[in-house]
Structure 1
Amino acid sequence: METPPSSLLQRVKLNQIVLAIALTVSSLLFGMAGFMGIEHYRPVDAFYMTVTTIATVGFGEIHPFSESGRLFVSFYILYNLVVVAYLVSAFSSFIFGGELRKIYKMIRTDQEIRRFSGHVIVCGFGRNGRRAYQELRASGVRVVVIELNQELMKSHADGQTGEDYDGDGVAGGNIYTVAGDATTDLVLKQAGVERASALITALPKDADNVFVALSARALNPRLKIIARASLKTSESKLLTAGANSVVMPDEIGGSHMAKLVVRPEVIRFLDLISGMSADRLRLEEMSYQQLRRDLRGRSIRELDVRSLTGATIIGMRTAEGSLLVSPPVDYVPLDGDVLLVLGSESQIESFEVQFRQL
């Protein structure tokens, strides 16, 4: 996978620091070796003379130099002028350029993610990944984004309010980001995959999504994995790799446009549910275990959801896995059933207040 410019720049800056430290240590060792070999200084005296020479403080020699010693010191001072200049330049850029602050924020955010449990991981912050993130955050779900190209994160934050991103792999505000390749186990673990409840992999390449699904399933067998695919042939591979569901945006988009021609009102109604329209409806689910204890054992007629809240039970998934559309009013929800309720935002909130187990 190609390394984006921002990540490459950070790597170059870090390499400059490592090189500056290596040059300083090698210069120190070289100076000690020179003083010990030419002037026959003891190690402690050689170290002292090396440090004073590098620092150019001019405390004087322990004993007068020989001609070879003076020649060595002259060239050694010229060499260290270059080394010290490079060292100061590298560290100044690192500190005043904000790199030190970025490292601190990376450590802080990593510690915060370590405390997450039951969160959702979104791999890839392209069009599909960004949309998934926005929907999850709108539903109050805690999300960790894995993205290699940090310019995508910065461009998103620039257009948002209440969210901040510094372009360093660490997010401010509510965006928690791990900068790295989602196909590697190390990055997935850094995002807390072992403690996550679900993972959405929306990387551009199907092969990368297959690899993410395979790795994530091995790290967390209970994880719910939703994968993006561009090709129909990739669907079976993703399911075999461990994905629970596969979404093909291109096929969905084409089907959506065609149905706008033949069944436009149906699509407009679906847009209300999906949040694509301004007058948004909310489709919520509530399992039998989430239902208030005193309401369990009652039929749909006795629950009287519509009269009490204005919302409507439009479907139900039974414990056996079958889906009932407009379930009979005399049906009594059982353990393992899941109610599907449709209504406006206020109606669903009223439904949850009156029917959800606290």
Structure 2
Amino acid sequence: MQNIFFLIFRRMRAPLLALILTYAIAVLGLVLIPGQDAEGNPWRMDFFHAFYFVSFMASTIGFGEIPFEFTNAQRLWVTFSIFFTVVVWLYSIGTLLTLFQDPTFQRALTERRFTAQIRRIRDRFYLICGYGETGSALIQALTDRDQHAVAIDIRQDRVNLLKLENLRQYVPALCADARMPIHLMEAGLKHALCSGVVALTDSNDANLKVAITAKLLHPDIKVICRADSHDIEANMASFGTDYIIDPFDTFAVHLATAIQAPCLNLLQEWLTGREDSELRDPIYPPSEGLWVICGYGRFGKAVYDQLRKEGLELVIVEADPEKTGLPKEHCIRGRGTEAETLQEADIQRAVGLIAGTDHDANNLSIIMTARKLNPDLFVIMRQNRQDNDAIIEALHADMVMHPSAIVANRIRVLLGTPMLHEFLQLLLYQDDRWACELVSRILALVTSHAPDIWEVAFSEETSHAICQSVLEGKAVSLRDVVTDPRNRSKLLQCIPLMMLRNNERVLLPEMDEILHRDDRILFCGSHSAGNRMEWTLQNEHALSYILTGEARPQGLLWRWLKRRERT
């Protein structure tokens, strides 16, 4: 608001001074020029009548001469004042219209409206810095879960695109540089309901600045950052950034997991997939033989390190090895789009190909050329732009690495179901046989789409019926929670994945486990199972039916009829 007033007074200073001076001269002239009254006696207009006359003279043309008819001298002065004041008014109004169209003034008004919207927020929200492919996917996922978000992006076209999105929740957005602390505070960094800050810009330095600002101005807030440089990651970690996500390292770990434990990798994909995503079959990347990696940038180095740990034979194809650095394995200079380069890399003998450059057209060309030389290749492609989905899907690559989708999916899990993130970390300590058994159990619950994932916290707010029964001394087991409230002889189509009690985590807890207050349980299953479980958690009558097998009547009439039956 101070900026708006400052801009108004700075721009309107000259027009206002001109108006004041014009009115002062016009009033002074009417006071000094002698006139005469109705009887022809000399008379001078006082300052009050002169100011009154000049005031309505500037805004109308149908007025009379007050309080007596003017002399010729007075009429001459009024004529001069009319043209003089009209010119000054046109100058003032033109300056005011120019001010309203000024980009700086419009930006100040936009920031003022945006700040007012943030102050009116009454629900917890996440501050998303960067509305590119990653930010748009994350905000879509958050709003689908009825979570609130606020967005900042330095490009106005992205902010305009956000306003056109068909989202379930309204998302306030501001075109501003997130590196500036003032803009983060305008977006609600210090708001009491701000649950976290997510830095997703395409600049490592900008993400680092956002993380530093958030931790300094709001130390207790959760900060999640995207980074694709190990140096930046170390810098972020040094001052307590909660989660740092590198899409290239993340995919490289997934690839290594798929080689070592295909079922474990499949389980991770099913549990982290969107609710409407289809279940995919397990993939089996070759664990022996030659792999050709085209592109030795950030992505190429990440997968190179992981595959080298697996003991695989590797050949690197890089157009500018002096810029990216030379690998320890054999390196061939070239883009990989030419058959000669791939043949030099011994593509006919290779079992796997990674097209990992930062150009989608080159990656497509690499894969198509390589398949002509070796149709049996296991193909991994790096996708850089989301708008290339159609042609990349038509390519039918075995694995696709899309950095924005990986980061958005990881953050969606962190913000939407934090227990799932912990469960996935514990999965890495399980063997593939354990994962295969769990995959079979999940497949029995859902047929074609990924299972729903939800958390249950046994608190008064979210599980009133359970907590009330525990306070009354009634034992409620995990089996009771997963029992169908419409038919107690059946269980809901869901699986308890993990139980959290007193900071202790139990994978696949037993059904006979007695629940305690403040326990937290992670479930996966069908969408209907989660909805029906809500009845058991909140409705005392539904829980009583599950525990006793008796459907107690509700309402005075039904209770009276029940008593009559007993008598």
Aligned to 1:106: 113
Is 69-78 or 21-30 further displaced after alignment? 69-78
Which of the residues 487, 491, 494 maps onto 1:308?
491
**Looking at CA atoms only, which structure, 1 or 2, has the larger radius of gyration?**
2
Aligned to 1:28: 19
Counterparts of 1:117-136 in structure 2, within 5 Å, are: 117-136=123-142
Which of the residues 263, 267, 281 maps onto 2:451?
281
Higher RCO structure (Cα 8 Å, ≥6 apart): 1
The reply to whether residue 345 of structure 1 matches residue 352 of structure 2 is no
Question: Any stretches of 5+ residues in structure 1 without a counterpart?
Answer: 1-10, 164-172
Distance apart, 1:221 and its partner CA: 4.9
Instruction: Give the match's secondary structure for 1:233.
Output: helix
Distance apart, 1:123 and its partner CA: 2.9
CA contact (8 A) 2:126 2:198 kept: no
Closer, same or farther: CA 284–78 of 1 in aligned 2, 3 Å: closer
For 1:324 and 1:316, the matched residues in 2 are separated by 5
Distance apart, 1:247 and its partner CA: 2.2
Closer, same or farther: CA 23–239 of 1 in aligned 2, 3 Å: same
Is 74-83 or 335-344 further displaced after alignment? 74-83
CA displacement, residues 269-317 of structure 1 (integer Å, 9 cap, x when unaligned): 4333223423121222223435512368555467566952121112233
Distance apart, 1:225 and its partner CA: 3.0
Which of the residues 191, 198, 203 maps onto 1:201?
198
For 1:194 and 1:159, the matched residues in 2 are separated by 25
The reply to whether residue 317 of structure 1 matches residue 500 of structure 2 is yes
Counterpart of 1:116 in structure 2: which amino acid? Answer: R
The reply to whether residue 191 of structure 1 matches residue 188 of structure 2 is yes
For 1:47 and 1:149, the matched residues in 2 are separated by 51
Counterparts of 1:78-97 in structure 2, within 5 Å, are: 78=87, 80-87=89-96
Is 185-194 or 222-231 further displaced after alignment? 185-194
Counterpart of 1:175 in structure 2: which amino acid? Answer: Y
The reply to whether residue 175 of structure 1 matches residue 166 of structure 2 is no
Distance apart, 1:44 and its partner CA: 5.5
Instruction: Give the match's secondary structure for 2:528.
Output: helix
> May I ask how many residue pairs the two structures share in their alignment?
326
CA displacement, residues 22-63 of structure 1 (integer Å, 9 cap, x when unaligned): 343122123145457888758657756765676584969977
CA contact (8 A) 2:196 2:222 kept: yes
Aligned to 2:426: none
Q: When the two structures are superposed, what TM-score results if normalisation uses the length of structure 2?
A: 0.46
Closer, same or farther: CA 256–50 of 1 in aligned 2, 3 Å: farther
Is 292-301 or 139-148 further displaced after alignment? 292-301
Is 272-281 or 79-88 further displaced after alignment? 79-88
Instruction: Give the match's secondary structure for 1:144.
Output: strand
CA contact (8 A) 1:226 1:244 kept: yes
Query: Cα RMSD over matched residues?
Result: 4.7
Is 109-118 or 129-138 further displaced after alignment? 109-118
Instruction: Give the match's secondary structure for 2:140.
Output: helix
Distance apart, 1:67 and its partner CA: 11
Counterpart of 2:147 in structure 1: which amino acid? Answer: V
Aligned to 2:225: 227
Aligned to 1:167: none
Is 301-310 or 134-143 further displaced after alignment? 301-310
CA contact (8 A) 2:199 2:211 kept: no
CA contact (8 A) 1:147 1:177 kept: no
Question: Any stretches of 5+ residues in structure 2 without a counterpart?
Answer: 33-45, 279-448, 485-489, 541-567
Counterpart of 2:188 in structure 1: which amino acid? Answer: A
Counterpart of 2:191 in structure 1: which amino acid? Answer: E
Is 301-310 or 197-206 further displaced after alignment? 301-310
Closer, same or farther: CA 24–121 of 1 in aligned 2, 3 Å: same
For 1:57 and 1:67, the matched residues in 2 are separated by 16
CA displacement, residues 79-138 of structure 1 (integer Å, 9 cap, x when unaligned): 6544444545666x69xxxx7xx869937x835752414333333322222222122212
Closer, same or farther: CA 316–231 of 1 in aligned 2, 3 Å: farther
CA displacement, residues 191-211 of structure 1 (integer Å, 9 cap, x when unaligned): 374322521322423444444
Aligned-residue identity in percent:
19
Instruction: Give the match's secondary structure for 2:531.
Output: helix
For 2:59 and 2:141, the matched residues in 1 are separated by 58
Instruction: Give the match's secondary structure for 2:172.
Output: strand
